[in-house]
Structure 1
């Protein structure tokens, strides 16, 4: 949000509110900038878009964890799973370098053994390969893995990879998580262990 509003301010446009663009989180800087210009009733010059994206990413990268926080219960849940021997990986369409920076800035890096970003492979979500690669890098097997996500893209990725998927209903999906067709939906990470066990028992 800070990166987007900085770009809009530089361009003489008013700041947008989180509710205006939350459904586009996870869709990249281009989508956010485009929506910011649309809200500001100004046509976006597509020739200038690469420059705006570059400035957005530079600002975002420099202050990537200033206001970023893990969701309540996430760290405890990841630690519990790690202690039980689960391999943990991140599969995201965010650039890999930015993904590592977010994890480092929030102190989450030590909990994950693999990160596959949107530029790690020729394919990106919802193609199944990034998820299957993340599972393999974490030392896992697709037939014993579960994905946790917050968007329709996440559910589509898991389905394509043949992996069960748990949706959280507090992410940036843009629509109620129940509509995405996940195998289960949780409202807090305290629920993760029990739901995870139930899904693994059905494998």
Structure 2
């Protein structure tokens, strides 16, 4: 294998490492069922995801008949509690991810996660999927008190993984802007929870499948 000139490859979680849309949809549908709204298919909920649970719920309520602040405030804890109890029933790694992580680890690259998902969901989800031992650091949305696109969580991810040249992989503007603000290059995945064309994220590169990641990093300019 050709050398990879990065010490750390960092990843966002939802929509990048893991397709969590099935479990997020189930949580949304559980919450809105309490006010007699019909369920959404998973495909319809995907565009609602990517900017946190509150925005996801707002979008679902808006699309199913509207809402007021009191309804949103009442349903958000219902959604979150259900989700915490059902984190990994339908969530799966994206195709090619495990092989890519194996190849990166074999090349001596450390893997890390920086997500805006709260630790109460992040840590158990990664653990339930059996992925925890693969990561040198895991930083959640509430780990350091601020979230992406602030650079602080990405910098914490790098520091906790031991430091070194880092690249970040993500699927939203928070990921790509967060990497830019932290002074590191970024790769956008076209298969994530996009709310517009992937090109609009202005990442340094785009991949359409995790099979493309290792060759891309091997050819990255030094």
* TM-score strictly above 0.5: yes
Cα distance in 1 for residues equivalent to 2:210 and 2:97: 6
Q: Cα offset for 1:48?
A: 4.1
What is the CA deviation profile of residues 172-199 of structure 1, one whole-angstrom value per residue up to 9, with x for unaligned ones?
0212212211111111111111111233
Q: Cα offset for 1:50?
A: 3.3
Contact 1:88–1:114 (CA<8 Å) still a contact in 2? Answer: yes
What is the CA deviation profile of residues 42-71 of structure 1, one whole-angstrom value per residue up to 9, with x for unaligned ones?
323x13433321111111111100000000
**Which of the pair is proportionally richer in helix?**
1
Is there any run of 5+ residues in structure 1 with no aligned partner, and where? Answer: none
Aligned pairs for 1:15-30 (under 5 A) are 15-30=39-54
1:7 to 26, 31, 36: 31
**1:183 paired to 2:204:** yes
Cα distance in 1 for residues equivalent to 2:123 and 2:211: 25
**Which of the pair is proportionally richer in strand?**
2
Cα distance in 2 for residues equivalent to 1:145 and 1:40: 42
Runs ≥4 residues deviating over 6 A? none
Aligned pairs for 1:4-153 (under 5 A) are 4-44=28-68, 46-141=69-164, 144-153=165-174
SS, match of residue 33 in structure 2 = helix
Q: Give the length in aligned residue pairs.
A: 198
Moved more, 70-79 or 18-27: 18-27
Is there any run of 5+ residues in structure 2 with no aligned partner, and where? Answer: 1-24
Cα distance in 2 for residues equivalent to 1:126 and 1:33: 21
Contact 2:100–2:210 (CA<8 Å) still a contact in 1? Answer: yes
Instruction: Return the structure number with greater relative CO, CA threshold 8 A, min gap 6.
Output: 2
Q: 1:180 to 1:125 in 2, by over 3 A?
A: same
